[in-house]
Structure 1
C-alpha cells in the first residue's frame, strides 16, 4: 500500500475509492473495502481509501473530546492488511469544511485521479453535510465520477459502526467489540513509576501512561490481556483500569498490567496491551489481604479466559 499525504495524481490508472474516517478499520469498513477492491479489479483500476488525519468533528469543534479506536499510524497499518493499493490521507481543515459536496468530489477527481467513489450507507460529506446520495450521484455524472452506495454491514442484528464499538468498550463488552473489530482492541503506553504495592502483594504491575491520550480507554475494571513486550514477545496477563479504591486515593487514575511469570525491568519502555476479556468491575477491598486473595482469583479467571482466546 502506498500512502499519499500530498496532492498527487495516481498516475498508473484511475482509481476506485471509498471515503471515511475509518476509525478502527472494523468489519463494516472491511466489507466496504472489499467492494472497492472488487470493483477496481473488475474495471482494471487501482483501489484507494480516502481518509483524514484528524476527525472532522475535532476540527469543527475545538471543545470536542473524541476518543479514538485507532491512531493514524494504527489505522494505516490495518488498512495495509486489507490489500488496498493506496491510502490518501487528507488534513481536514476549516477551509475544507466549507467545500460543497460537488467541490469536494471535484477535488478528488482533479487531485487524485479518482474515477469511482463508494459512499458508506450513513456517510455524508460537503459543507454542513446537507446533501445526500442523490446529490452525489448527480455531481458525479457531471464530473465523470461514478458513485456507488455501500450497504450497511450487520453482525448479530447490529449495523456495525465505530460509535457502536466505542460504546461496547466503554461498557466493558470487550468480546463483542473485538468481534466487530475482527481483532483485539489494544492500547500502547510507556511504563512509568507507580506505588509498587502490587510487588509487595506478589503481583508486580507495569503502570502504563498512554502514548496517545486520544485513544479510548475501556471501562474501569479488571481484564484478561495479552501484552506485547518491547522485544515483540507476547505474554499473558491481567490489567486493572481505575482509581484503586482500596488505597482510598481520590482521583488517582491508573492503568496497571500484571504480566504472568515475568521478571525484568520495563521502566521507560513501551508496552502494547491487547484486551481479551472483561473479568470484573473494580471494587474496594476491606484489607490488603482481601485484595491479595482477590488478585489470586483474578489470575485464575484470566488464565481460563486466555485459554479460550477465539475472537469469533
Structure 2
C-alpha cells in the first residue's frame, strides 16, 4: 500500500528512554545527518522532543539552522470527524467497520494464524476457522460480521463471529470465520479477514435450534451482501 503511494522505504524508530530524553533539535539533527532529511511534514497539533519542546513555531527555525524545509498540513476529515489513528482505533473497537472503511479508504483487515478451537461450529454444521492474531493488534468489537477471507488458495466469503459464545458460556474471546462453500483443512495457514459490514451484536440464545436459525440468516445475509460487494 505504501509503495502504491510512492513511498520507497520506511525506517522504524523504537521509542525508548534514551530517545525520550532527546530535545527536538538533537533528534532532528540525527534525522538530517543519518537519513539526510530534506523536508518535514506534520499535522496541526504536532509537537516533538523532550517535554514537547519542538512546536510548530520552533521547528521552522530549526529547519533553517539544520537545512530542511517544514510544512504543517490540515487534518483530513470524514464529514466532520478528523481522520486520526485514535479515532480509527476507537471505531474498530466499537465494531463500526463501515465507518473505518470510509476513513481508511479500504476495508479494515486482521491477519493471523488458523488454530484449533473447541470445534463447536463443526458439531453444529458450520465448521469455523479460529483466527489467532498477534497480541496488541486491533480487532473489531464483539459481533457478527460479513467478511472476505483471504488464503493462499484465494478469496472466500465468510461470516465471522467475534466474542465469547454466550449461548454456551464457554468463555474466552475468539475470532471464528465460517467460510462459505469451503471445506479444506487450513490449520496452521495464514488467514486475512477483511471486514465489510457488522451484521448484528453477539447474542445469547435460548437453545441450539434458535442459534442455528440465526446462523443460517447470518450466512445468507453475508452471501447476499458480498455477492453485491464483489460486482
Which band: TM-score by shorter chain? over 0.9
5+ residue gaps, structure 2, are: none
RMSD across aligned C-alpha pairs, in angstroms?
Answer: 1.5
- Structure 1 pair 255–114 and aligned structure 2 pair: CA distance change class (3 A): same
2:106 to 183, 197, 220: 183
- Please name the residue that 1:34 is paired with: none
* Residue of structure 1 equivalent to 2:5: 82
1:304 equivalent in alignment to 2:224: yes
Matches within 5 A, 1:19-58: none
Q: Could you tell me how far 1:308 is from its partner in structure 2?
A: 4.0
Alpha-carbon offset, residue 95 of structure 1? 0.8
CA-to-aligned-CA distance 1:89-115 (integer Å, 9 cap, x gap)? 222221111111111111111111112
Partner of residue 285 from structure 1, selected from 193, 205, 210 = 205
- Work out whether residues 25 and 54 of structure 2, in 8 Å CA contact, stay in contact via their aligned partners in 1: no
Kindly indicate whether residue 153 of structure 2 is the aligned counterpart of residue 239 of structure 1: no
* CA shift for structure 1 position 181: 0.8
TM-score normalised by the chain length of structure 1:
0.71
1:114 to 17, 28, 37: 37
- What are the residue-to-residue correspondences of 1:8-19 with 2, within 5 Å? none
1:254 positional shift: 1.1
The answer on 1:100 being equivalent to 2:23 is yes
Summarize deviations over 1:254-273 as a string: whole Å, max 9, x none. Answer: 11100001011011222111
DSSP-derived class of the 1:283 partner: coil
Aligned pair count reads 230
Unmatched 5+ residue regions in structure 1? 1-77
**Aligned with 1:252: secondary structure?**
coil
